[in-house]
Amino acid sequence: MKALFRKLAWLTHRRDKEAELRAELEFHLGEESEERMSEGWSPAEARLEARRELGNMTRVAEETRAAWGWTLAEQFAQDLRYALRNMASNKTFSALAILSLTLGIGANTAIFSFMDSILLRSLPVDHPERLVILSFWTKENEVHGMNMHDDSFLPAKTGYGDSVFSYPAFAMIQSNNRIFSDVFGYQGAGDLHFAAGDRAEIARTEYVTGNYFQALGVPPAAGRLIVHDDDRAGAGPVAVISYALSQRRFGSVENATGKSVHINQHPFTVIGVTPPHFFGADPAMAPDVYIPIHSILTLAGEGFARQSFTDANTEWIVTMARLRPGVSRAQAQDVLAPQLAQWMRTVNIARNRADLPRLIIRDGGAGLNGVRYQYSRPLLILLVLVGLILILACANIANLLLARATARRREIAVRLGIGAGRSRLVRQLLTESVVLASAGGAMGILFAIWGIRFLTALIGNGQENFTLHADLNWHVLAATAGLAIATGLLFGLTPALQATRGDLLPALKESRTSGGLARGSGTGKLSRGLLVLQMALSLVILVAAGLFVRTLNKLESIQLGFNRENVLTFSLNATQAGYRDAEVFDFYGKLRDRFAGVPGVRGASLSDIRLVGGRMFTGVSVSGDEPRASLVVSVGPDFLSTMQIPLRLGRELEQLDMTHSHISAMVNQEFVKRRMGGQNPLGQFVSFGSAACAKCSAEIVGVSGNAMVGRDVTDEFRPVVYVPYTMNVWGGLRDMYYELRTAGDPMSLAGKVRELVREADPRLPVSDMQTQRSVIDGTMNREVIFARLCTGFAVLALLIACVGLYGSMSYNVARRTGEIGIRMALGAPRRTVIWMVLGEVLLLASVGLAIGIPAALMGSKLVKSFLYQTEPHDPLTMAVAAASLLVAAILAGYLPARSAAKIDPISALRHE
Amino acid sequence: MPDPPRVELLQGTLDLLILRTLLPGPSHGHAIAKHIQRTSEELLQVETGSLYPALHRLEAKGWISASWQLSDKGKRARYYRLTASGRKQLAKEQSRWQTLSRAIGLVLNPTGQEGQ
């Protein structure tokens, strides 16, 4: 420590030190010559002899200075200056290398950080590894559920799966406390009207069982969380709010506790706040408000409230459990599955006896996360692609540095020749590489931060409440940066390593005539190998991009059976304003009439789901036959004409059908074909398996063309029954979607719509307003992301590969100036010179293609499941990819080729 | 003038000699060199080229300290003096050297055994 201070003190007195040293040596000389003069020498001779004795004064001074211990730092500063000067004088090289590093490090970190937040992170709760999700699957879906039909855990098309259970089933599982220490559940309550004081907003709300928080092991940030006693009929209405909502509405967690609020006009007391990092058992939902599930008795429509706690056919509780210590998931499943099957047989359940739900206990440590399953495989594919880009970037850096190394061989040899120490030289080259790598690394971090934001926006595409919390993952950043920088260092040292190998003379004698990507030399082979690798990898990425773009095109051209253009849709929930039963229908109906009268609106209707936006199944029987699963859509008047679904037979549901006591219904052609054997359906009756509407039946008055009712555009056309919304087939009076067919741009009516709703009831918020087209595009989100990202990657890959090609070829040409000069002097036409360079480029590209095409054919099989009506070996895609690669390679090679052709033979030869 | 016979300084011994020379009191570079030459009966010749780096190195290690003083002839000279840690270092180096030279002496003149 003391030594350090002394050194620092010296550093500040640097100039004085130099003067002192000179004075000290001067004094020595004086003493020495005086001594000699006293021995009888003449003053001049004495002085000269003293000088001789002292030796080289500069060297003495230099060595003495070395003793001060600052040489290393001084040399470093020198190296740094030299490195910066070098970078500045090779702007293109530096820019290309830094760009490669930035892209490699940044893109990888961004994608991986995203994967980490979606796939790898556990719930921020106590012992997440012991949490499980209870799910089931059946061959056919027959009972209507309330959930989003999350069957992502099943292999594709092997049946129906879900994670919701009826309350009686939930209670049965809960009673089994031998394997589980806790069984808890929740269900989204939707976006509810949340009013505190005089301010109201829409808050995402979740029903949770009384033991939810205790079972998850989540501590409150303030107040207390919901406990068992809060969750029973007749308990005081309590709510727990999220940390974010407490900050937003009340300023602090303490302020929020104890506040009275209104949820859908019902009074609740806020008893506590969840911790900041808790986003619910399904992180993709991220509720703002948690209320006990028994609140459903007050909040839901009467029909649903009545049946929700007693009916074994109403499946709605997402069920999770915590395993007892020492019990494995498989053991739990072995114990519980037969018990559940046995229980199902004892209750009167409206399911096919041969196809009762089979229990599946899944890992719940990461929560039930729809987003997780939806994006896990796509992200893996993206990760592979980005990994390829990282390899490309590293290969590029290696190549650029190799090319420069070759170009600098002479410089290095000269420096070694005039006595530069080898270690000193290595240190200097290392400094250059470190400077380059640090610049690239810093840019990479910035790019990663930007990339995460960009990805969040891309994946969240239009979703208002998208709640994926991706943070920059420093481990990944360190790993990718480490890899890229190590590459830089390794190849940055090549000139030094080459120089230390063998003697200097050949390199010194080497003039600009020889060399290039020195044929046959180790460096040349390595460099060409890297270029070929880049070409091959780029082709693979190009093919992937091509396949995804084709898939997106196919998806966009699917016939949906209705006109998706010029339709404005939005959602309303009249129950939020306190309307009940018949008032709700009345309100919806009158509002529709007002919309229909707006200038620019050509048709208006409403429905409980949006076409290509959701689906609700229930068992439907025709003329009393065995009920089978069908899609049921509740619609308002003029639904077919508004959506432009063709009417095939009979008539469509009109205004009168909404209020008539004799219920009419429409079916689609698929229903007629599959359920009625193609017979005339008009006048036949359908009845519904829904518990709320067990006795309802409706007469078929019309047949529509097939229109897509499903989760996305690739869903098949299934049997559909359209019923009047006033029939309230599900029992729960819920939000409705309005559809307005417009003459022009649908969004231009948004203001008018809000105004009309405000006039009708100022308490009611309009939510989820978008065009029917954007609803459909939303279901293709994944494909859109794939197509966009992969196209981006492909451009990136091509760019990086071309940069490498361009860099190497430019160096090559620069080094062969002499040779080319001689050729031209001997009569080679410019065209030949151009072809000489382009020929090399084409050769490299062709070898790259020869390797890349088989690799792409193998690789594309991995993405087969993401393709729609596109073969993995799609010849058109392959051809376009190969052609783009060749064109890009020729473009990258043309500039150096042209500069080669511009070489003036005379000046080139004089240069020798 | 014929040069007197000289021995090369062993690596690392210059530091020891400098420290020892400074034991009686402060001295400047030239005087140190002369003193070593004189007391070694001209057998050891200190190269100026290695003397000053060595002095500055010892100073950097904190074993000696330097200050500008007037010499006996009234000129400003850089005087070095032994510090406390330099004194300790000297003791250590000295005993190490003595052990080493005794050991080498024993090997070179194995008096006890050769007599038999």
Domains in chain B (CATH in brackets) are: 13-108 (1.10.10.10)
Residues of B whose CB is below 8 A from A2: 62
Chain B CB within 8 Å of residue A51 CB: no
- The whole-number pLDDT of residue A570 equals 92
Is A478 a residue whose pLDDT tops 70?
yes
- The whole-number pLDDT of residue A460 equals 60
Quick one: tokens of A823?
A: 């050729």
More confident residue, A412 or A858: A858
Tell me the pLDDT tens digit for each residue of A154-199: 554 566 777 888 888 999 998 877 889 999 999 888 778 888 877 7
Residue A402 Cα distances to A398, A459, A807, angstroms: 6, 39, 10
User: Which residue ranges make up each domain of chain A?
Assistant: 2-69, 72-121+373-510, 128-365, 517-560+782-912, 574-763
Q: pLDDT grade, residue A864 (50/70/90)?
A: confident
Q: pLDDT grade, residue A879 (50/70/90)?
A: very high
Is A514 a residue whose pLDDT tops 60?
no
More confident residue, A56 or A359: A359
SS3 content of chain B, % helix, strand, coil (to 5): 55, 15, 30
Q: Which helix (H) or strand (E) holds A552?
A: helix A522-556
Tokens 């028994």 locate to A294
The closest of A780, A155, A772, A247 to A461, measured between CA atoms, is A780
- The whole-number pLDDT of residue A240 equals 95
Q: pLDDT grade, residue A519 (50/70/90)?
A: very low
- The whole-number pLDDT of residue A691 equals 61
Q: pLDDT grade, residue A465 (50/70/90)?
A: very low
CB atoms A2 and B56 under 8 Å: no
Interatomic CA distance for residues A180 and A324, integer angstroms:
5
Quick one: tokens of A815?
A: 């080094």
The one-character DSSP state at A235 is: -
- The whole-number pLDDT of residue A436 equals 82
Residues of B whose CB is below 8 A from A25: 52
More confident residue, A780 or A508: A780
Mutate to test the interface with B, among A60, A62, A71, A72 (most CBs of B within 10 A): A60
* Mean pLDDT score, A585-603: 93
Interatomic CA distance for residues A628 and A720, integer angstroms:
12
Q: pLDDT grade, residue A3 (50/70/90)?
A: low
Chain B CB within 8 Å of residue A41 CB: no
More confident residue, A759 or A305: A759
The closest of A233, A230, A289, A225 to A263, measured between CA atoms, is A289
pTM of the model: 0.62
Mutate to test the interface with A, among B1, B47, B56, B70 (most CBs of A within 10 A): B56
Residues of chain A with pLDDT > 70, as a percent, come to: 83
Tell me the pLDDT tens digit for each residue of A20-48: 888 888 888 888 888 888 888 888 888 88
- The whole-number pLDDT of residue A512 equals 45
More confident residue, A284 or A489: A489
- Those residues of chain B that have pLDDT short of 50 are 1-2, 114-116
Mutate to test the interface with A, among B78, B79, B80, B85 (most CBs of A within 10 A): B78
Is A540 a residue whose pLDDT tops 70?
yes
Nearest-Cα distance to chain B for A19, in Å, is 12
Nearest-Cα distance to chain A for B77, in Å, is 7
Nearest-Cα distance to chain A for B28, in Å, is 9
CB atoms B54 and A32 under 8 Å: no
Nearest-Cα distance to chain B for A824, in Å, is 58
Tell me the pLDDT tens digit for each residue of A93-131: 788 788 888 877 787 788 777 777 666 566 667 787 888
Helix ranges (H only) for A284-369 are: 296-299, 302-308, 329-346
Q: pLDDT grade, residue A789 (50/70/90)?
A: confident
- Stretch 51-80 of chain B: residues touching chain A, C-beta under 8 Å: 52-57, 59-62, 68, 73, 75-78
Interatomic CA distance for residues B89 and B106, integer angstroms:
26
Interatomic CA distance for residues A803 and A92, integer angstroms:
10
- The whole-number pLDDT of residue A153 equals 57
ipTM of the complex: 0.84
Nearest-Cα distance to chain B for A42, in Å, is 16
- Packing angle of the helix pair B13-22, B48-61 (nearest 10 deg): 70
More confident residue, A357 or A13: A357
Pairing of strands A664-668, A685-688: unpaired
Residues of A whose CB is below 8 A from B59: 67
Q: Which helix (H) or strand (E) holds A731?
A: none
- The whole-number pLDDT of residue A666 equals 95
Residues of B whose CB is below 8 A from A63: 49-50, 52-53
Phi, psi of A517 (to 5 degrees): -75, 65
Residues of B whose CB is below 8 A from A53: 48
Quick one: tokens of A393?
A: 């970037």
Q: Which residue is closest to B63 within chain A, CA to CA?
A: A3
Nearest-Cα distance to chain B for A822, in Å, is 54
- The whole-number pLDDT of residue B116 equals 41
Q: Which residue is closest to B50 within chain A, CA to CA?
A: A60
Tokens 């306190």 locate to A578
Tell me the pLDDT tens digit for each residue of A676-713: 888 899 999 998 876 666 667 899 999 999 999 887 78
Nearest-Cα distance to chain A for B34, in Å, is 10
Interatomic CA distance for residues A490 and A487, integer angstroms:
5
A31, A54, A68 ranked by CB distance to B60: nearest: A68
Is A322 a residue whose pLDDT tops 50?
yes
Q: Which residues contact A894 (CB under 8 A, 6 or more apart)?
A: A838
CB atoms A59 and B49 under 8 Å: yes
Tell me the pLDDT tens digit for each residue of A242-294: 988 888 888 888 889 999 998 887 899 999 999 887 878 776 677 889 999 98
Nearest-Cα distance to chain B for A424, in Å, is 21
* Mean pLDDT score, A740-748: 91
> Is the CB of residue A655 less than 8 Å from the CB of residue A691?
no
Q: pLDDT grade, residue A5 (50/70/90)?
A: low
The closest of A378, A417, A540 to A882, measured between CA atoms, is A540
Chain A CB within 8 Å of residue B23 CB: no
User: What would the DSSP string read from start to end of A395-442?
Assistant: HHHHHHHHHHHHHHHHHHHHHHHTT--HHHHHHHHHHHHHHHHHHHHH
- Stretch 84-103 of chain B: residues touching chain A, C-beta under 8 Å: none
- The whole-number pLDDT of residue A154 equals 57
* Mean pLDDT score, A848-854: 93
More confident residue, A664 or A767: A664
Chain B CB within 8 Å of residue A50 CB: no
Q: Which helix (H) or strand (E) holds A282?
A: none
More confident residue, A57 or A195: A195
Interface contacts (A, B; CB < 8 Å): 64
Residues of B whose CB is below 8 A from A27: 28-30, 75-78
* Mean pLDDT score, A761-775: 82
More confident residue, A546 or A10: A546
